[in-house]
Structure 1
Amino acid sequence: MTKKNAKAYWKENIKYVLILLVIWFLVSYGAGIIFKEALNEIKVAGFKLGFWFAQQGSMYVFVILIFVYVRLMNKLDKKYGYDE
C-alpha cells in the first residue's frame, strides 16, 4: 500500500467516525435534552418519547452505530486492500 492510499484510507475513516459521532450526539443530546419537550408530546408504549430517548434510545442508537461502523470499515478495508 502506498503512502497516498494510506492517507486516503485514514481520511475516509475519520470522515465516517465524525459522521457517526454527530448522529450519536444528535440522538443522545438533541433528542434526550434539547428536543425533549417537543418529543414528549409523542407517546410510545405509554412512555413519553423524549423520556425514552434520554433513558434508552441513545443507547440503542449507539449499539446500532457500532454495527454500522463495522460494516463501513469492512467495505473501506476491501476498497483499500486491507481485507485479509
Structure 2
Amino acid sequence: MSKNNAKAYWKENIRYLFILLAVWFVVSFGAGILLKDTLNNIRIGGFKLGFWFAQQGSIYVFVVLIFVYVRLMNKLDKKYGYDE
C-alpha cells in the first residue's frame, strides 16, 4: 500500500465517522431534546414520541449506525485492498 492510498483511506474513514456521528447527534439531541415538545404530540405505543426518542430512539439509531459503519468499512477495505 502506498502512503497516498493510506491517507485517502483514513480521510474517507474519518468522513464516514463524522457523517454517522452527526446523524446520531441530530437524532439524540435534536429529536430527544430540541424537538421534544413538538414530537410529544405524537404517541407510539402509548408513549409520547419525544420521550421515546430521548429514552430509546437514540439508542436504536446508534445500534443501526454501528451496522451501517461496519458495512461502509467493509466496502472501504475492499476499495483500498485491506480486505482479507
Give the TM-score taking structure 1 as reference length: 0.98
Matched with 1:27 is 27
What is the Cα deviation at residue 53 of structure 1? 0.3
SS in 1 for 2:41: coil
What is the Cα deviation at residue 21 of structure 1? 0.3
Matched with 1:77 is 77
Aligned residues: 84
What is the Cα deviation at residue 16 of structure 1? 0.1
Matched with 2:60 is 60
Matched with 1:9 is 9
What is the Cα deviation at residue 23 of structure 1? 0.3
Q: 5+ unaligned residues in a row in structure 1: which ranges? A: none
SS in 1 for 2:53: helix
SS in 1 for 2:14: helix
What is the Cα deviation at residue 7 of structure 1? 0.4
Distance between the aligned counterparts of 2:38 and 2:75, measured in 1?
Answer: 38
Q: 5+ unaligned residues in a row in structure 2: which ranges? A: none
Residue identity in the other structure for 1:8 = A
Stretches of 4+ moved more than 2 A in 1? none
Q: CA RMSD in A?
A: 0.4
